[in-house]
Amino acid sequence: MKPSATASDVVPIETAHEDMIHDAQMDYYGKRLATCSSDRTVKIFDVVNGSPSKSAGHTLKGHTGPVWQVAWAHPKFGNILASCSYDGKVFIWKEQTQGGASGTWTKIEEHTLHTASVNSISWAPHELGAILACASSDGKVSVLTFKDDGQWSADIFTAHAIGCNAVSWAPATQPGSLIHPQQPGAHQPTAFKRFVSAGCDNLVKIWCFREDTQSWGEEETLEGHTDWVRDVAWAPNIGLPRSYIATASQDKTVLIWTKDSPTSQWVKTALDASASSTSTSSAAAAGKFPDVVWRVSWSLAGNVLAVSCGDGKVTLWKENLQGVWECVSDLTS
């Protein structure tokens, strides 16, 4: 997405969904678009030259409630899509191709350990394997791992009081590895399994897999929001020392959490919504967004943050050389 994007760059897509669309995700190559809806279906479209093809695409049925999110696995694991729903289930879908042609999609795994709506799913960095984290309104987070023998294993643990709204994995790249590269012949550090969750208890928690106990443990709790945390996104890292996490909340704020080195503390900074050219409300005057902030998403390089607000606007934010976050673009739906 270009920071200078204008209305002329927007391509409307007719999905034929019969109710509200909750998520839309491009695959790794940008050749497929998956959407999901309150009509309880997932749809997959081929994308040609930046626009969806005129063919009807594929409709995946099986959920018995609104489908909140879809997530593509890395292509090295095959054409695999995960979906999560209000029905408390997570489905793993796989495309069975015939001779290179677009094939049929079948459900290869059904995860039913949660007792309430599954609100968010996120695939781990491909270097860690085919691992999917799931966040649920039952307050638990589950981690599905696809094993070499074709079986799936599941770890499930309580993460947040009331419920969990979102999960996001830490990048597999070690912070600072670009500046301090490995010496030839030196022992290669193992990639940590680590992710962050956002909850209805107003908290953000970082979880790490402990190899010695083979279990997930809470590494850190980040306090700063005064209402439900709706979304969380850990920024991609190309090997620079600093780590970034963005959180969006019902309290109409977005917080950027930064950690300068593996040993330093997380420091929070609130985005100043009054710096956005479209913000004219009294909430913006106080530095807040005009409505609930629902989603945050980083660019592939991890230097541009997209913020989706309940007023129907998407704003793009960048950190300037002085370390201040600036709104660089407004996109109105």
What is the C-alpha to C-alpha distance for residues 107 and 93, in angstroms, rounded to an integer? 4
Residue 32 pairs in a beta bridge with 46
φ/ψ region of 332 (left if φ > 0, alpha if ψ in -120 to 50, else beta) reads beta
Q: Look at residues 46, 68, 47, 66 and name the one whose alpha carbon lies nearest to residue 58.
A: 46
Q: Look at residues 333, 329, 265 and name the one whose alpha carbon lies nearest to residue 294.
A: 333
Least confident of 5-19, 256-270, 289-303, 311-325: 5-19
Q: Give the mean pLDDT of 256-264.
A: 91
Query: pLDDT digits over 145-155, tens only?
Result: 998 787 889 99
Would the pLDDT of 283 be above 60? no
Would the pLDDT of 32 be above 80? yes
**Spatial strand order in the sheet of 267-270:** 229-234, 243-249, 254-259, 267-270
pLDDT band at 7 (very low <50, low <70, confident <90, very high): very low
Number of residues written out for the chain: 333
Query: pLDDT digits over 81-98, tens only?
Result: 999 999 999 999 999 877
pLDDT reported for residue 47: 87
Those residues with Cβ within 8 angstroms of residue 322's Cβ, 6 or more apart along the chain or in another chain: none
What is the C-alpha to C-alpha distance for residues 26 and 18, in angstroms, rounded to an integer? 21
Structure tokens at 291: 């409505």
Which of 144 and 285 is assigned the larger pLDDT? Answer: 144
Buried b / exposed e over 142-155, threshold 16 CB at 10 Å, is bbbbbeeeeeeeeb
- Calculate what percentage of the chain has a pLDDT beyond 90: 69
pLDDT band at 277 (very low <50, low <70, confident <90, very high): low
pLDDT reported for residue 287: 78
Number of neighbours of residue 108 by Cβ within 10 angstroms: 15
Would the pLDDT of 204 be above 70? yes
pLDDT reported for residue 6: 44
pLDDT reported for residue 155: 95
Query: pLDDT digits over 136-191, tens only?
Result: 999 999 999 998 787 889 999 999 999 999 999 999 877 777 776 655 555 555 56
Query: pLDDT digits over 219-243, tens only?
Result: 999 999 999 999 999 999 877 889 9
- β 21-26/140-146 pair status: unpaired
Would the pLDDT of 296 be above 80? yes
Query: pLDDT digits over 65-124, tens only?
Result: 999 999 999 999 999 999 999 999 999 999 987 765 567 999 999 999 999 999 999 999
Three-class SS of the chain: CCCCCCHHHCCCCCCCCCCCEEEEEECCCCCEEEEEECCCEEEEEEEECCEECCCCCEEEECCCCCEEEEEECCHHHCCEEEEEECCCCEEEEEEEEECCEEEEEEEEEEECCCCCCEEEEEECCHHHCCEEEEEECCCEEEEEEECCCCCEEEEEEECCCCCEEEEEECCCCCCCCCCCCCCCCCCCCCCCCEEEEEECCCEEEEEEEECCCCEEEEEEEEECCCCCEEEEEECCCCCCCCEEEEEEECCCCEEEEEECCCCCCCEEEECCHHHCCCCCCHHHHCCCCCCCEEEEEECCCCCEEEEEECCCEEEEEEECCCCCEEEEEEEEC
For CA atoms 314, 266, 135, 168, give the dihedral sign.
positive
Structure tokens at 60: 């995946």
Q: Give the mean pLDDT of 302-313.
A: 93
pLDDT reported for residue 102: 67
pLDDT reported for residue 3: 44
- β 254-259/267-270 pair status: antiparallel
